[in-house]
Amino acid sequence: MKKRGKATFFVVAALIAFLAYTALFGITSQYGDVKTPILKGVDTIRWGIDIRGGVDVTFTPPEGTKATKDELAAAESIIQQRLIAQNITDNEVYTDYQNQRIIVRFPWKDDETDFNPEAAIKELGETAELTFREGDNRDSSGNPTGVTAENIILTGSDVKSAKAGQNPNNQEIVVQLELNDSGKEKFAAATKKLAGVGQISIWLDNTRISAPAVNEEIPNGVATISGNFTAETAKDLADKINAGALPFALTADNYNSINPTLGMGAKDAMLLACGIAFVAVCIFMIAVYRLPGVVACIALVGQVAGAFAAVSGYFGPFPSFTLTLPGIAGIILAVGMGVDTNIVTSERIKEEIRAGKSVGAAVTSGFKNSFSAIFDSNITMVIVAVILMGAFGPPSSLFAKLLNPIFQFFPSAITGAIYSFGYTLLVGVVMNFIMGVTASRLMVRSLSKFRCFDKKWLFGGKKDEA
Amino acid sequence: MKRNLDIVGKKKIFFAISSLIVVFTVVFALIFGVKMDIQFTGGSIITYSFDGELDESAFAKELSAALDAQLKTQLSENTVTKKDNIIATLGAKKNVKADKVEAALQTLQEKFPDNNIQQESINSVSASMGSEFFIKCIAAVAVGAILMILYIAFRFRKIGGWSAGVMSVVALMHDVFVIFAVFVLCRIPLNDSFIAVVLTILGYSINATIVIYDRIRENSRIHRSMSVAERVNLSINQTMTRTVNTTITTVTAMVIVCIIALIYGVDSIFTFAFPMIIGMISGLYSSVCISGPLWVTWQEHKAKKKAAEKLAPKAKKK
């Protein structure tokens, strides 16, 4: 019995070391000059805009306007298209249909030196200019030229609605377009002219979104656009056309922009503080709890690494997560919980040893007796974390849906900062069960089987005890 | 044998201290008012950086005219960027539109060409969204508290779960008050970091309370003959080293965060970490000195009532 399980310590410690190393530095495979990340390291963490600087803006329809669900979807699609047009690919866009809000967050680009957030916000919220133009002539930068630039057939106000649908004859997925009275005649004339010989291109601002060929004259203002659509691409095009037909511009009463230099300093300070605090805690733990203290430090390394891994998207199925300043605070708090778990257990072992038990027996009952307290306190933390994520997360997130019966009576307030705090706290608690409870137990029990460590004072007994 | 502290016996002193803190905070808040951040009230805060000497009052006047709004300015230095900042706060319930801010920066750059004025950050919140956010925060705290009571009531049903749940939440409310007091006394405006601190301390303090209750639960099995007061006192003393050591480690960590935040001048972290430290100490105090003894008071009161009912069952019925 005594012989078995000695290797466990080394296996667990090696696994933690592996996790810590890979979570910090990542693993990349190199093929020629192309590096492909296999496991993502800390450098791939997406920092929140409070750290790297950026813009956080909430768009709403103007006061007194009640937007429909379709109108909001259209508005969201136009915002997304404009973000891409401005080359802001790293963005988050959430739409809260219940409370008529579109929340947009995007960070500063790395090479950005002179960025004007107000101009960007203004541009995102403006009504999109939808045009139907004759032909599909574009210059090298994609702008309309020639007849396409000159001959505008329809504008946004001529379009009543667009939606994705199916052609009843052949089940093909199409976009169904319906025009207002103002557009019917113009469209009829244009389609008569172009039927069989030309195209009508559809533009949103200065981006061509579609260029269907005209098959026949369309006199009644009801047209379908067909051509290899999937349900998704058809909806996308319909949303964009609807965006151009939106009767209002979005207003941005709520916005927040932070210069990157402010935030990056905060990040460095936070990480430095994390490092120093970690060392201080380790010194304390080893000084007070000796062997279990050493194990606690190893487990804490695993816990911190696990927390960063959960944020960077290291664990395949879990996507990367934006890490904000409160998010870092959440990691610190979770590490505090991890320290507490180890203290509760180590205290218990010490007590059992002072009550006269052997090292092996004290370790076993120490872990057993401390578990209920650790379990209950961690579950209450889970309650806090889940509520934070549900109350302050994007409406489409899992926890928000879970808590919708409670929070639907309250208006949405999507603060990414608090959401990130809840997430890191939740991850921390899970890591606490894995590291603080399971890994610690395996390591301490394994170590207690070595004769050289089978000494009571190493577990908190008096010095003179064997 | 370790010396046992008689915590439960001194409960009246502790209850008095806590009541005093609560009363003092309420009175102070009523007299001096509570500052709310624009996140709750609505409004705008714009931070500009500048070089050299800047005439603050002239700057304020120009900006006020450009934005067509009343505002207050404040100078500060950012230790990270080594730049002087001027922070403009626009009166409550008035936030500005993006295009005006853009124009205002141009005006300022024209009027103060030597100062290289740059806009560092802006935070603008509409009044309605601010109050909605506030309501949501209160709701989150309330829902959290209710779920905690439910969970504790279930897990500690052997030792009178409901009373344990309610008493632990009373101790938590005490901690919330202490954090509130820190924000009010230090004149830190209430903002989302207040909510984050409150929720953290709630979880943190309930953690300590649960460790103690867990011991009471265990001791109820082992020491059946002990009185409630003795049993609770024993449990508090048995878990004392853990409670103190955990507080030492976490507070040390937070103090380090605080010091680094001060050195680097990261205000947002400091206003988060400092109330957190006080909250942690308050959590230690409330778990040890309030939640356990309060629970004893409840149990003794219940026992007395039972005894009185046995003695005079008729008197009770009236």
How many Å lie between the alpha carbon of B64 and the closest alpha carbon of chain A?
Answer: 18
ipTM > 0.90, yes or no: no
DSSP string, A202-246: EEETTEEEE-PBP-S---SSEEEE-SS--HHHHHHHHHHHHHHT-
When the candidates are 3.30.70, 3.40.50, 3.30.1070, 3.40.630, the CATH number that belongs to A54-122 is 3.30.1070
Q: Is residue B272 within 8 Å of residue A326, measured between CB atoms?
A: yes
**What's the pLDDT score for residue A1?**
43
Beta-carbon separation of B124 and A273 below 8 A: no
Predicted confidence (pLDDT) per residue in B53-81, tens digit: 888 888 888 888 887 777 888 887 766 56
Q: Looking at beta carbons, which residues of chain A come within 8 Å of B102? A: 116, 118-119, 122
Question: Under CATH, which number does the domain A130-244 receive?
Answer: 3.30.1360.200
Q: Which residues pair with A389 in a beta bridge?
A: none
Predicted confidence (pLDDT) per residue in B171-201, tens digit: 888 998 899 998 888 888 887 778 778 877 8
Lowest mean pLDDT among A22-26, A31-35, B166-170: A31-35
Distance CA A108, CA A49 (A): 8
Nearest to A381 by CA among B257, B254, B245, B201: B201
pTM: 0.76
The phi, psi pair for A323, rounded to 5°, reads -100, 115
- Give the fold, CATH level 3, of B43-125: Alpha-Beta Plaits (3.30.70)
Beta-carbon separation of A258 and B121 below 8 A: yes
Q: Looking at beta carbons, which residues of chain B come within 8 Å of A336? A: 204, 246, 249-250, 253
Q: How many CB atoms are closer than 10 A to CB A354?
A: 16
Q: Looking at beta carbons, which residues of chain A come within 8 Å of B273? A: 329
Question: Under CATH, which number does the domain B8-32+129-306 receive?
Answer: 1.20.1640.10
Is some CB atom of chain B closer than 8 A to the CB atom of A93?
no
The phi, psi pair for A438, rounded to 5°, reads -75, -55
Query: Within 13 A of B285's CA, how many CA atoms are on the CB side?
Result: 17
Nearest to A101 by CA among A419, A380, A395, A317: A395
**What's the pLDDT score for residue A297?**
92
- E runs forming strands in A91-199: 92-96, 101-107, 130-134, 152-155, 159-166, 173-179
Q: How confident is the model at residue A38 (pLDDT cuts 50, 70, 90)?
A: low
Query: Within 13 A of B271's CA, how many CA atoms are on the CB side?
Result: 18
Q: Is residue A212 within 8 Å of residue A170, measured between CB atoms?
A: no
Predicted confidence (pLDDT) per residue in A185-239, tens digit: 888 888 888 888 888 888 887 788 888 888 888 888 888 888 778 888 888 888 8
Distance CA A49, CA A45 (A): 12
- Give the fold, CATH level 3, of A6-42+259-459: Multidrug efflux transporter AcrB transmembrane fold (1.20.1640)
Q: Is residue B189 within 8 Å of residue B271, measured between CB atoms?
A: no
Beta-carbon separation of B122 and A255 below 8 A: yes
Nearest to A101 by CA among A60, A73, A141, A131: A60
Q: Number of Cβ pairs closer than 8 Å across A and B? A: 227
DSSP string, B105-120: HHHHHHH-GGG--EEE
Predicted confidence (pLDDT) per residue in B92-143, tens digit: 555 566 667 778 888 888 888 888 888 877 877 777 777 777 888 888 888 8
Q: Looking at beta carbons, which residues of chain A come within 8 Å of B265? A: 265
Nearest to B248 by CA among A173, A8, A339: A339
Q: How confident is the model at residue A466 (pLDDT cuts 50, 70, 90)?
A: very low
How many Å lie between the alpha carbon of B97 and the closest alpha carbon of chain A?
Answer: 6
Beta-carbon separation of A344 and B140 below 8 A: no
Out of B102, B241, B257, name the one closest to residue A116 (CB). B102
**What's the pLDDT score for residue B317?**
45
Beta-carbon separation of A122 and B132 below 8 A: no
Nearest to A417 by CA among A342, A326, A353: A326
Q: Which residues pair with A190 in a beta bridge?
A: none
Distance CA A307, CA A385 (A): 14
- For residue B1, pLDDT over 50 is answered with no
Predicted confidence (pLDDT) per residue in A122-157, tens digit: 778 777 778 888 888 887 777 777 777 778 888 878
Domain boundaries, chain B: 8-32+129-306, 43-125
**Beta pairing, strands B71-78 & B83-90:** antiparallel
Distance CA A57, CA B95 (A): 14
Domain boundaries, chain A: 6-42+259-459, 54-122, 130-244
